[in-house]
Amino acid sequence: MKTGRNKPCPCESGRKYKHCCISVGRAVSDEIKELLSGQEFNSIEELQASLATITENKNVKPQDDFLGLSSDQVFQMLNFPFDSPELFKFSEQLPIQPDAPILVLMEGIISAIDAKGLKATQAKGNLPQKLCRDVWSNYINLYPDHVLASFHSVNKEDDFFELHVMRIVLELAGFLRKTKGRFYVTNKYKKIASKFGLKGLYPIIFETYCKEFNWAYWDRYSDAPFIQQSFLFTLYMLKQYGEEMVATKVYENNFLRAFPMVINEMEQSTYSTPEKDLRRCYYYRAHKRFLVFFGLAELEVTKTDSFLVDKCKIKKTPLFDAVIQFNLVGSKTHKRTHPNIYSDQLH
């Protein structure tokens, strides 16, 4: 059945069809017609070659929806974030001492393990209660604005989910292992810690969290893996806006403008809309549990009169510039397998 111009777009972006997919398709079609007008082709091969040139030129052209990035650059952000040093380079050893909530948790775990190891709980094989309580007490003293700081009690690892996540990330990074019911610090950790300290440990934890840990494990929203896959675009936005405190809603708006199709990853809800759920999910996963958790940004929360509604602003920290460097102006990308400029992954 043909979709009417004023009907909701089939992609479920929430926009009218005439302002969403139909406008993109027609814009591409009209531009190709204009570029090909007046040309004659002696074979289908010549036509295909001309279309390939048009597509390549479009792929390297800065796009407003991508905040000045080209489709080529965004494609590499999404698919080769740690393998495109010509565009964005992550420090293997930080030039400054990192300060981040996740490091407080890491040191809390590591410092409790001696040569004999640390006995895990018998029921689930988790961190022991005393350690969890000690780290929690230290954590809320350092971060008293934690939403649960004033009334939450910690009796097990699952009660302190940030610590639980940190333990998993340490294991994924190869820094922590569990053998015969006891936790041990690995030789990999000891070697890097003794030589580089936190300046060398942080980049490995950061990459592990981005590549191997499933961000959706934090919450009960839909999996929406694209939020994690696009972590580098989130960092790019922080680079663009992060000199001052800017509303997190600005980041959400730009994220949805760049990738409207991601709304399709959200499940239908009786009490909300896919867009509202996506915005909340993006705020928690990308802002609180990535940028702030890793010390890349500071968050300013202003309480409002509305129940459970806050106004939030975010700003980058000095650690951000120590972790990643962007080199996107006038850069040339390496040739890699690239979809059409208007593939679903980019638009």
Using one digit for the tens of pLDDT, what is the confidence trace for 116-130? 999 999 989 999 999
Quick one: which of 8, 64, 43, 121 has its CA closest to 240?
Answer: 64
**Per-residue pLDDT at 343 exceeds 80:** no
What are the contacts of 25-31 at 24+ separation with CB within 8 A?
Answer: 25/342, 28/342
Taking the C-alpha atoms of residue 135 and residue 45, their distance in angstroms, rounded to an integer, is 66
The structure tokens listed for 209 are: 């969290």
Cα 274 → chain centroid: 19
Instruction: Say what the pLDDT of residue 121 is.
Output: 96
**Per-residue pLDDT at 331 exceeds 50:** no
Residue with tokens 């980041």: 251
* Highest mean pLDDT (candidates 43-47, 153-157, 261-265, 288-292): 288-292
Mean pLDDT of the chain: 85
**Per-residue pLDDT at 347 exceeds 50:** no
**Per-residue pLDDT at 158 exceeds 50:** yes
> Greater confidence, 62 or 68?
68
Instruction: Say what the pLDDT of residue 317 is.
Output: 98
Instruction: Say what the pLDDT of residue 142 is.
Output: 87
Quick one: which of 267, 280, 274, 330 has its CA closest to 87?
Answer: 330
> Greater confidence, 73 or 40?
73
What number is the average pLDDT over the span 328-336?
Answer: 51
